[in-house]
Structure 1
Amino acid sequence: MKNEERRMKNFRKRHNSTLHIKSYLFALRIVRMVQYLRNEKQEFILSKQVLRSGTAIGALVRESEFAQSPADFINKLSVGLKEANETDYWLNLLYDSDYMDEQSFTSIEEDCNELIALFVSSIKTVKNNQKKNEGSTH
């Protein structure tokens, strides 16, 4: 088994939610994409922005694990959603400025849009559960 496969297997044992896994894998894709952009395309400005926002997504998901309250949990996920949306902006700018080919762009943007959908769904679920819990305590 390759080192990367072993690391991912261990990661999946510790973090089994879809959002955890997909945000981590997305961050890995972003890191590799930025390495390519810097080494092959000599692009340093936009790649710095997409690296920051694209890796922040997973970090915020991890932060949400230890949220102090449901409101804090929602806040962490909401900030993660904003970072995913910002990442989509940088990806589009990289594509439209010809730093990315269509196939690479389409593939990574699909992953980004999937994360956005997961964030929206998770936030709605937590908010709905909060409303149900508030209604049952009155």
Structure 2
Amino acid sequence: MMMGKKNEILDLSFDFALEIIKLVKHLKVNKEFVMSDQLLRSGTSVGANITEAQAAQSPKDFIAKMSIASKEARESNYWLRLLDKSDYLNNYPNKLVLFNMSQSIVKLLTSIIKTSREKNK
């Protein structure tokens, strides 16, 4: 078990990836494969990039990794919106949870990137 300081963005992005995996399983049962594959890639990539950023070689590298994570989070939000408007999420119970998580991740990453850039001027 990991000890130490809690990292909100790491925890949130990991939980988001788990929710994305659950949704993709649901979508595949309903025979939706193309958008769900895209969502699986972008949704799980968010946390992977945030995790990579924790071992960044420099502040510039940290900002770059977090920026990639932000782009992936925004892409995930796009796929979620598209799936929703295409009526694939009508009966999905955690739809609002996913949208809220996605928006929270983007806001947190935007703040982290902005703060990091200001510190490293």
User: What TM-score results when the alignment is normalised by the length of structure 2?
Assistant: 0.92
Matched ranges for 1:99-118 at <5 A:
99-101=88-90, 104-118=94-108
Moved more, 64-73 or 93-102: 93-102
Stretches of structure 1 lacking an aligned partner (at least 5 in a row): 1-9, 132-138
CA RMSD across the alignment: 1.6
**Structure 1 residues 101, 124: CA separation in 2 closer, same or farther (over 3 Å shift)?**
same
The reply to whether residue 43 of structure 1 matches residue 32 of structure 2 is yes
Contact 1:61 1:77 (8 Å CA) reproduced:
yes
Alpha-carbon distance in structure 1 between the residues aligned to 2:71 and 2:32: 24
Stretches of structure 2 lacking an aligned partner (at least 5 in a row): none
**Cα shift readout 1:58-114 (whole Å, capped 9, x = no counterpart):** 000010011111000000000000000000000001000000027633221111000
User: What TM-score results when the alignment is normalised by the length of structure 1?
Assistant: 0.81
Alpha-carbon distance in structure 1 between the residues aligned to 2:28 and 2:5: 31
**Structure 2 match to 1:20:** 10
**Structure 1 residues 59, 14: CA separation in 2 closer, same or farther (over 3 Å shift)?**
farther
Deviation, 1:14, is: 6.4
**Structure 1 match to 2:113:** 123
| Structure with a larger share of its residues in helix | 1
Alpha-carbon distance in structure 2 between the residues aligned to 1:14 and 1:64: 18
RCO greater where, 1 or 2, for CA within 8 Å and sep 6 or more?
2
Moved more, 97-106 or 64-73: 97-106
